[in-house]
Structure 1
């Protein structure tokens, strides 16, 4: 069963996701990042190139021909056909429960401090809990 970690009270979801992915990739994990829409996807893609002057995060869009050979995939399409090589970690920046989440060993839900995003995150937390997913909760900025 997919382990789900909630990271809440995040001031900047895109920057936070870049840091999460940097850590996951350093641990040799392949990662899929799910966004709400094309605008957030473009913001994330740009941030992956610019968030750090010293780090490189190899990434492509999930529908790219190189997807199976690239450790980090970005998508806003919940129905995207993902390579079988990318089933370790899903980072969800969207406000919906990804339909493919059960294919992953772990999912991280990144929830901002904005009320609409937090409310949607709380609903997903309750739904996952009712389905007996193993849940953990981390509050950004607290140890």
Structure 2
């Protein structure tokens, strides 16, 4: 069963996502980053190149010919992915294909629409009995 980790109260969701992607990559785990909003996914792609002058996180879009050989794959569709270890959700909706993964990282920003969507996703996973962990970033600050 998929382990679901909620990271919430994120002041800068995309920067935090970059740091999580780096952590997963450095741990040697393949990562799929999903967002149904292509504009957000494009901003995340750009931020991966810029967030750290000392880090390189190899990543491509799912439709790239090198996707199967690249440790971090970005997608705006719920198609078949080459990796099934960790899924990072940048979207507001529950990814329908999340149960293919060993672990799901859910990110929730501080804006009200993000919080409401995060609560709905949290309830969805809890009602179905998925093992969950919560990381409140206001407590970490």
Give TM class, smaller chain: over 0.9
Match of residue 104, structure 2, among 91, 104, 107: 107
**Structure 1 counterpart of 2:16:** 16
Structure 1: distance between partners of 2:117 and 2:129 = 19
The TM-score normalised by the length of structure 1 is 0.95
- Note the aligned Cα RMSD (angstroms): 0.9
Aligned length: 140
Structure 2: distance between partners of 1:87 and 1:7 = 20
The answer as to 2:84 corresponding to 1:95 is no
Shift of 1:142: 2.2
The answer as to 2:135 corresponding to 1:138 is yes
Shift of 1:141: 4.1
Q: Unaligned 5+ residue runs, structure 2?
A: none
The TM-score normalised by the length of structure 2 is 0.96
| Contact 1:63-1:81 at 8 Å conserved across structures | no
Deviations 1:29-81 (A, max 9, x none): 0000111311101101100111000000000001111000000011111x222
Q: Deviation above 2 Å: which 4+ runs of structure 1?
A: none
Alignment of 1:109-128 (within 5 A): 109-128=106-125
Q: Unaligned 5+ residue runs, structure 1?
A: none
